């Protein structure tokens, strides 16, 4: 009965990519811990880049800085 919560920044994840994350996580839990896929939940949260911080800056700023090549 695993519960997997994947949080990523909201930067254009497609439905197909989400499906791959769901399948991949479910298969991982089955392979490693023999968990039943029928009771494996995978929930993907897409978080706005203004709302995610790492290294004291939000990801919006980080992406702009990366683009500017700094």
Rounded Cα distance between 58 and 65, Å, is: 11
13: its two tokens: 């994840």
- Cβ proximity of 11 and 49 under 8 Å: yes
Site for a copy of itself in 33-52 (CB under 8 A): 33, 35, 37-47, 50-52
**Cα 28 → chain centroid:** 15
Q: Is 2 an annotated catalytic residue?
A: yes
Shortest gap between Cβ of 70 and a copy of itself (angstroms)? Answer: 16
5 binding a copy of itself? (CB under 8 A): yes
Q: Annotated active-site positions, please?
A: 2
Applying CB under 8 A, the residues found at the interface with a copy of itself are 1-9, 13, 15, 17-29, 31-33, 35, 37-47, 50-61
């Amino acid at each position: 009965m695993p519960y997997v919560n994947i949080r990523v920044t909201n930067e254009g994840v497609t439905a197909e990519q989400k499906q791959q994350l769901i399948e991949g996580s479910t298969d991982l839990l089955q392979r490693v811990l023999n968990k039943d896929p029928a009771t494996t939940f995978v929930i993907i949260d897409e978080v706005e880049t203004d709302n995610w911080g790492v290294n004291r800056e939000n990801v919006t700023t980080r992406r702009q800085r990366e683009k500017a090549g700094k």
